[in-house]
Amino acid sequence: MINERVYRSEGIVVHRRNQGEADRILTLCTPQGKVQVVAKGARKVRSRKAGHLELFAHAQLTLARSRSSWDIVTQAETVAPNTALRGDLVRGTYARYAVELYDRFIAEGEGGPSLFDLLARMLAYLCEEERLDLLARAYEQRLLMLVGFRPEWEHCVGERGGGLCERPLDPHGERPFGLDPERGGGLCPDCYHTHRQEHAVVPLSPAALQLFQALQREPFVQVREMPVSPVLLEEVERAARHYITYYLERDVQTGRFMRRLDLNRQGEGAHIDPPSAPAGKAVGPLSKM
């Protein structure tokens, strides 16, 4: 019941900060939405809650309602520790990007089960997946859909003859397509030619459009089998960043660091990821992503 003082909820720690001498304020993604709670004494050496409330951890929580402040975490039990995300720079950076996108798009009290499930699956995948950059692009498309900013990749969003163009976007041929975040999606070659001088419009290759369509249509276990060149991934990342930045009205801080990290890895030619799941292996319900 909503008026019960003690209640239980699953939660994923997306942000935390210290308060006072021993407490932590946690921002949680829960099936009920995004909330802030306080874990009293969580920074004490002997705290029983501390190990269950690490960043990115998925836990089952018991909370006590407070009328004057944040609700209080009284008990915590780990569901998925996601330890790999705190012990690996690359995986941890991608995880920070995922939770920052959630945090930027979702206001406190908003969200719901679908967003909670998406973030839980994303963090679980990040612990094992090898194609992290492609996984990030899939996560972006699904998040945008759930928060109401789904890009239209199937039909042209331009105007023609006083009305919407709505031509099917068929990613074949050599003519460039376009991306117009203000109109909410892709432009056919003719509409791109018409609108290409507008500030928000950027070009999109047929291969990039095809990958965006696959990211929106197909589960990740199928997309990850596609041969995607680094050049194409870079183009799709730039286009996705352009779209997301337009709606957030700011760049995603972790995204900048993630791009520098990827460039350094490509330049050094070093593989620093820990062993990942075999190609094509789905991790439980993550095949839905």
Q: pLDDT for 86-122, tens place per residue? A: 989 999 999 999 999 999 999 999 999 999 999 999 9
The encoded tokens of residue 278 equal 């075999």
Q: What is the pLDDT of residues 134-161, one digit of tens each?
A: 999 999 999 999 999 999 999 999 998 8
Rg (CA), the chain: 21
Instruction: Calculate the average pLDDT of the chain.
Output: 88
* Confidence band for 49, pLDDT divided at 50, 70 and 90: confident
Mean pLDDT comparison of 29-38, 60-69, 271-280, highest-scoring range? 29-38
Which domains does the chain carry? 6-80 (2.40.50.140), 88-151+207-288 (1.20.1440.120)
Provide the pLDDT for residue 69.
Answer: 84
Model confidence at 124: pLDDT above 70: yes
Across residues 219-228, what is the average pLDDT?
Answer: 93
Tell me the Ramachandran region of residue 103: left when phi exceeds 0, alpha when psi lies from -120 to 50, beta otherwise. Answer: alpha
Cα–Cα dist 7/265, whole Å? 45
Across residues 83-88, what is the average pLDDT?
Answer: 94
Q: Where are the beta strands (DSSP E) in 65-221?
A: 71-80, 159-160, 163-164, 177-180, 185-187, 202-204
Provide the pLDDT for residue 269.
Answer: 41
Provide the pLDDT for residue 176.
Answer: 97
Model confidence at 268: pLDDT above 90: no
Measured between its terminal Cα atoms, the distance across the chain in Å is 32
Look up residue 239 and give its amino acid. Answer: A
Q: Which residues pair with 17 in a beta bridge?
A: 25
Provide the pLDDT for residue 270.
Answer: 37
Cα–Cα dist 287/221, whole Å? 6
Model confidence at 213: pLDDT above 80: yes
Provide the pLDDT for residue 279.
Answer: 34
Cα–Cα dist 67/209, whole Å? 50
Dihedral sign computed on CA atoms, order 269, 273, 277, 283 = negative
Provide the pLDDT for residue 46.
Answer: 80
Closest CA to 116 of 59, 164, 165: 59
Question: Would you report the helix, strand and coil content of the chain in percent, each value rounded to 5?
Answer: 40, 20, 40
Is the separation of the CB atoms in 201 and 180 below 8 Å?
Answer: yes
Model confidence at 283: pLDDT above 90: no
Across residues 199-216, what is the average pLDDT?
Answer: 97
Q: How many helices, marked H, and strands, marked E, lie in the chain?
A: 9, 10
Provide the pLDDT for residue 288.
Answer: 58
Using CA atoms, how far residue 87 sits from 52, 56, 59, 248, 275, in Å, is 16, 12, 19, 30, 13
Residues 6+ apart with CB under 8 A from 249: none
- Residues 143-180 as b/e (b if ≥16 CB within 10 A, e otherwise) read bbebbebebbbeebbbeeeeeebeeebebeeeebbbbb
pTM for the model stands at 0.87
Model confidence at 41: pLDDT above 60: yes
Looking at per-residue pLDDT, the higher value among 286 and 56 belongs to 56
Provide the pLDDT for residue 266.
Answer: 58
Dihedral sign computed on CA atoms, order 111, 114, 120, 126 = negative
DSSP letter (8 states) at residue 273: P
Model confidence at 54: pLDDT above 50: yes
* Confidence band for 68, pLDDT divided at 50, 70 and 90: confident
Across residues 66-93, what is the average pLDDT?
Answer: 92
DSSP letter (8 states) at residue 115: H
Provide the pLDDT for residue 262.
Answer: 67
Residue 186, Cα to own-chain centre: how many angstroms?
Answer: 21
Using CA atoms, how far residue 182 sits from 114, 151, 187, 252, in Å, is 26, 10, 11, 19
Tell me the Ramachandran region of residue 173: left when phi exceeds 0, alpha when psi lies from -120 to 50, beta otherwise. Answer: left
Looking at per-residue pLDDT, the higher value among 228 and 266 belongs to 228
Is the separation of the CB atoms in 233 and 133 below 8 Å?
Answer: yes
Is the separation of the CB atoms in 43 and 51 below 8 Å?
Answer: no
Whole-number percent of the chain with pLDDT over 70: 89
